Structure 1
Amino acid sequence: MKWKKQILSLTPYQPGRSIDQVKRQYGLDKIVKLASNENPFGCSQKVADRIEKLSFALYPDGYATGLRESLSQHLKVDSGQLIFGNGSDELIMMISRALLKPGTNTVMAAPTFPQYKHNAVIEGSDVKEVPLINGAHDLDGMLAAIDENTAVVWVCSPNNPTGAYIKDGALRSFVQQVPKDVLIVLDEAYYEYVDAEDYYDSISLIESFENLIVLRTFSKIYGLASFRSGYGIAQKTIIDALEPVREPFNLNSLAQAASIAALEDQKFIQNCKKANREGLKLYYKFCEKHNLSYYPSQGNFILIDFGLDGNDVFQYLLERGYIVRSGQALGFPTSVRITVGSTEQNEEIIEKLEMMVTENSIKKAL
Structure 2
Amino acid sequence: MAVKVKSREVLQSITAYPLGKSILDIQKELGLPMVRNMSEIENVFGCSPLVKEQLKKSLNQLFHYPDGSSANLTLKLSEFLGVDQNQLFIGNGSDEIIRLLLRAFLNHREEAIMADITFPRYRTNVAIEGGVPILVPLESGVHNLSAMYDAINRKTKMVFVCNPNNPTGTIVPKSDLIAFIDKVPENILIILDEAYYEYATSEEYLQSISLLEKYHNLVILRTFSKVYGLAGLRVGYGIMNSFITSELTKVKEVFNVNQLGQTAAVVALDDQGFREDCIRQNEEGKAFLEKALHSLGFSYFPTQSNFMMIHVNIDGNELAEALLNKGIIVKSGKPLGYPESIRVTISSMDDNRHFIEALKMAVKECVQP
Question: Which residue number corresponds to residue 290 of structure 2?
Answer: 284
Q: Equivalent residue of 2:115, what SS? A: strand
Q: Distance in 2 between matches of 1:103 and 1:351?
A: 50
Q: Distance in 1 between matches of 2:298 and 2:194?
A: 28
- Tell me, yes or no, if structure 1 residue 301 matches structure 2 residue 310: no
Question: Which residue number corresponds to residue 128 of structure 1?
Answer: 134
- Structure 1 residue 95 displacement after superposition: 1.0
Runs (5+) with no aligned partner, structure 1? none
Question: Which residue number corresponds to residue 206 of structure 2?
Answer: 200
Q: TM-score, normalised by structure 1?
A: 0.97
Q: Is the 8 A contact 2:318 2:366 kept in 1?
A: no
Q: TM-score, normalised by structure 2?
A: 0.96
Q: Distance in 2 between matches of 1:242 and 1:56?
A: 26
Q: Distance in 2 between matches of 1:2 and 1:180?
A: 40
- Structure 1 residue 212 displacement after superposition: 0.6
- Structure 2 counterpart of 1:50, which letter? Q
Q: Equivalent residue of 2:77, what SS? A: helix
Q: Equivalent residue of 2:213, what SS? A: helix
**Of 108, 122, 139, the match for 2:145:** 139
Identity %: 43
Q: Distance in 2 between matches of 1:241 and 1:184?
A: 16
- Structure 1 residue 3 displacement after superposition: 2.9
Question: Which residue number corresponds to residue 65 of structure 1?
Answer: 71
Question: Which residue number corresponds to residue 262 of structure 2?
Answer: 256
Q: Distance in 1 between matches of 2:251 and 2:316?
A: 39
- Structure 1 residue 288 displacement after superposition: 1.3
Question: Which residue number corresponds to residue 332 of structure 1?
Answer: 338
Structure 1 residues 141 and 164: CA distance shift in structure 2, 3 A: same
**Of 1, 4, 10, the match for 1:6:** 10
- Tell me, yes or no, if structure 1 residue 18 matches structure 2 residue 22: yes
- Structure 1 residue 357 displacement after superposition: 3.0
Question: Which residue number corresponds to residue 45 of structure 1?
Answer: 49
- Structure 1 counterpart of 2:120, which letter? P
Question: Which residue number corresponds to residue 35 of structure 1?
Answer: 39
Q: Equivalent residue of 1:208, what SS? A: coil
Q: Distance in 2 between matches of 1:103 and 1:193?
A: 36
Aligned residues: 363
Q: How does 1:99-178 map to 2 (within 5 A)?
A: 99-178=105-184
- Structure 1 residue 34 displacement after superposition: 1.0
- Tell me, yes or no, if structure 1 residue 271 matches structure 2 residue 264: no
- Structure 1 residue 294 displacement after superposition: 0.5
- Structure 2 counterpart of 1:317, which letter? L
Q: Equivalent residue of 1:297, what SS? A: coil
Q: Distance in 2 between matches of 1:129 and 1:86?
A: 26
Range that drifts further, 277-286 or 213-222? 277-286
- Structure 1 residue 111 displacement after superposition: 0.2
